[in-house]
Amino acid sequence: MSIYESILITGGGGMLGHALADLLITRGHRPHAFARDQLDISDKAAVEKIFAAIKPTLVLNCAAHTKVDLCEQETDRADAINGHAPGHLARLCAAYSAALVQVSTDFVFDGSSRRPYLPNDPVRPLSAYGRSKLLGEQMIQQNAPQRWLIVRTAWVYGRHGANFPRTMVQAARAGKPLTVVNDQFGSPTYTPDLAAAILDLLDTDANGIWHITNSGQTNWYDFAAATLKEFGITAEISLISSADWAQKRPTSAIRPGYSVLDLTASEKRIGRPMRPWQEALTDFRLAVERWGF
């Protein structure tokens, strides 16, 4: 039986959930996608009911508590959604002989490296969000189904849902002041590219932990500037250091200063390089011009 026989997408209303569903449909599949208001993955009984109804052969877990700063105040909720719920999904996938893909984050690292992070590098999250996502990784490995993938990614954006480029464009168009940190480095990741790479990994029978982003690296300030230039918007952006931002927003979560992920293993596995983040940003702009945010 193909793993695509019965596909469950949790977090189906979000950016990556939409991208995965769209791509699967274009490939001739009919995924069962559940948005957050349709399925709370921390509700064990609700999840078990869905499993019994559709008997998934593949679960793509895109559901998460992703509001990084809010996670600092809602640690129990973050741990429930990002940590314990993936463990329950893993146990159910084992019982139903389903493959599981868990989407994780660069925030499991502390940013002290000065080279791109490998999948097996030591983890040390700095925030409640990062700790909750690492808990999810650990829970999956402790309750592992026969086939599982943990896909770490970073700086995700797409046409559906709140994200950094969208915020920059809308704020600039509204004439709001823009202040962006310039000392946090990572790799922006466009959801259609991430979705395609995840399915390509699955098609190679991959298992384990993988890193997927668009290629190249930048900082938030330069990403903001590139976004406004791509959209033809002229606006002033004030730069600020992470330390100064923390003084202005003392309740905000600590972000890693450097969280570029090494793509060597995943690119070799799928047989192609991930395209540069600048090219993906152009496609994002074209999609927004056609469909809107």
Burial class of residue 175 (count of CB atoms within 10 Å of its CB; 0-12, 13-18, 19+): exposed
Q: pLDDT above 70 covers what percent of the chain?
A: 100
Confidence of residue 291 (pLDDT cuts 50, 70, 90): confident
Average pLDDT over residues 74-83: 97
- Four-CA torsion 9, 139, 85, 66, nearest 10 degrees: -80
In this predicted model, what pLDDT tens digit does every residue of 160-183 receive, in sequence order?
888 999 999 999 999 999 999 999
**Domains in the chain: boundaries:** 7-162+187-216+259-275
* pLDDT of amino acid 121: 98
Q: Is the pLDDT of residue 276 over 80?
A: yes
Q: pTM score, two decimals?
A: 0.96
CA distance 198 to 185: 23
Burial class of residue 45 (count of CB atoms within 10 Å of its CB; 0-12, 13-18, 19+): exposed
* pLDDT of amino acid 266: 98
Structural contact between residues 71 and 78, judged by C-beta atoms closer than 8 angstroms = yes
Active-site residues, by number, are 129
Q: Is the pLDDT of residue 289 over 80?
A: yes
Confidence of residue 268 (pLDDT cuts 50, 70, 90): very high
Which segments of the chain are extended strands (E)? 7-10, 32-34, 58-61, 99-105, 148-153, 156-157, 178-181, 185-186, 189-190, 208-211, 218-219, 237-240
* pLDDT of amino acid 243: 93
Q: Is the pLDDT of residue 1 over 90?
A: no
User: If we measure between CA atoms, which residue out of 10, 13, 21 comes closest to residue 199?
Assistant: 21
CA distance 161 to 187: 19
Cβ count within 10 A of residue 260: 25
In this predicted model, what pLDDT tens digit does every residue of 182-241 receive, in sequence order?
999 999 999 999 999 999 999 999 999 999 999 999 999 999 999 999 999 999 999 999
Structural contact between residues 169 and 227, judged by C-beta atoms closer than 8 angstroms = yes
CA distance 269 to 206: 8
- Four-CA torsion 131, 133, 139, 142, nearest 10 degrees: -90
Confidence of residue 292 (pLDDT cuts 50, 70, 90): confident
Q: List the structure tokens of 51.
A: 């499993």
CA distance 227 to 218: 12
Strand-pair partners of 32: 8
For the domain spanning 7-162+187-216+259-275, the CATH number is 3.40.50.720
Q: pLDDT above 90 covers what percent of the chain?
A: 95
Q: Is the pLDDT of residue 293 over 80?
A: no
